[in-house]
Amino acid sequence: MIGEEDINGIKNKYKISGDDLFKLLKEPRLSFSAENNLGLMRIALKAKDQLIKSYGSASREIKQLIQSHQKKYFWIENGYYEHKNVSEREFWRSAQELTRGKSRREIKGEIEKLENYEQNIKSKKRELIKKYLILKKDAQFLEMFAVASFWQDARKKTGLYMNYAVGTIMELAAKKFNVPFVDLHFMIAPEFIEFLKSNGQYDKEEIKRRQKLFISINKDDGERIILSGKKYLKFAEKIIAQNIQIKDNILKGSAASGGKVRGRVRVVLNPKGAKLEKGEILVAGMTRPEYVPLMKKAAAIVTDEGGITSHAAIISRELGIPCVIGTKIATKVLKDGDLVEVDATKGVIKVVKQLKI
């Protein structure tokens, strides 16, 4: 993983504890998800002060605040598969859900925590640099990773915005040529462009095969191969034949956010409609913005993929929960209900007890 050896080199050079290292790698600026929550909580607090209990009875001031927030964050629930324009009423409901059961004092405390987040992180970093006597060049190197985390989050934000735009174009194209909208989701970019040029012509049988099972492979030379139907099954058989196992019930990855917890596994490959109980260990191939509601409930996060600036790493550090990334096989060897111990400071997951089926 790019930079991980250098980070560990600095950690060993100054004998920095695992938890302190994660604090030094934190990006002070809030993620777009946290900024959205901050805006909603401010609105909810003002509505609480005005004794407003429903959007219909909201004052003109509250509705204007919601409208302004909607224009800024309408894209936030978009994913890589579907596009959505979040409505004003939906933002109102989200604001209520964020603050349900909380007193005015508690809401204000959470708002102040987010408002002071950047200042507190910067202050803590300065303390740690002094504590460990970290040289300027090494401190700047660590800060580079924090900045990279910010740009990774900015890339995600832009991606969601663009997904909304592309999804809208696809929806209009589906209506124009009277074809199922879902079919267009299974086209790659050159195929969609050809679909538009040919006035709605495409290989319907191939798209049907892809809707059942397919895999897209990007080769080193830039060529893209899509396997569906029998070709996919033949490829999958080779993968399954590898019989992936873990040794001594220990699974290893890279530390992304420190801490040690024990809990039951919940494997989530698709966050849409997925359920996760508070305190469970979220296991995923990788996380995306649509995973955030689940991440907030999780006691820890474990992923197959990702690096020190991945979405899972950024959000877990912001939430202050343990996270192990880059295990490669967590979703294949861990099952729902398995009892595991996550030592995220060491990047290790120990299977304590497997659920018997």
Of 122, 147, 176, the position where a domain reaches its end is: 176
Does pLDDT of 2 surpass 60? Answer: no
66: Cα separation from own chain's centroid: 25
Same domain? 67 vs 146: yes
Question: Are 16 and 113 found together in one domain?
Answer: yes
Work out the burial of residue 249: count CB atoms within 10 Å of its CB; fewer than 13 is exposed, 13-18 middle, 19 or more buried. middle
Same domain flag for 169 and 182: no
Residues 172 and 182 both lie in one domain: no
Distance CA 43, CA 23 (A): 30
Neighbour order of strands in the sheet with 323-325 = 250-252, 348-353, 339-343, 260-267, 281-284, 300-303, 323-325, 254-257
**pLDDT, tens only, 213-246:** 999 988 888 889 999 999 988 888 776 655 566 7
Q: For residue 252, what are the β-bridge partners?
A: 348
Q: Is the pLDDT of residue 133 over 90?
A: yes
Same-domain check for residues 31 and 80? yes
CATH number, domain at 262? 3.50.30.10
pLDDT value at residue 309:
85
Q: Which residue has the tokens 């659920």?
A: 355
What is the extent of the structural domain holding 306? 247-353
Question: Tell me, what DSSP letter sits at residue 147?
Answer: H
Compute the average pLDDT of residues 176-199. 96
Mark whether 170 and 182 lie in a shared domain: no
pLDDT at 79: 80
How many domains, the chain? 3
The encoded tokens of residue 80 equal 């890589």
Mean pLDDT of the chain: 92
CA distances from 296 to 114, 208, 293, 299, 312 (A): 15, 36, 5, 8, 12
Domain end point (choices 218, 240, 262): 240
The model's confidence at residue 272, banded by pLDDT at 50, 70 and 90, is confident
Query: Kindly report the CA angle at 259 between 253 and 263, in degrees rounded to 5?
Result: 80
Question: The whole model's pTM is what?
Answer: 0.82
Enter the tokens of residue 21.
């290292």
Cα pseudo-dihedral 110, 112, 118, 122, rounded to 10 = -100
Q: What is the DSSP letter of 252?
A: E
Distance CA 67, CA 194 (A): 38
Residue carrying structure tokens 């407003």: 52
Q: Based on the fold, state whether residues 154 and 81 are members of the same structural domain.
A: yes
Residues 31-73 have pLDDT tens digits of 999 999 999 999 999 999 998 989 999 999 999 999 999 999 9
Question: 308 and 261 share a domain?
Answer: yes
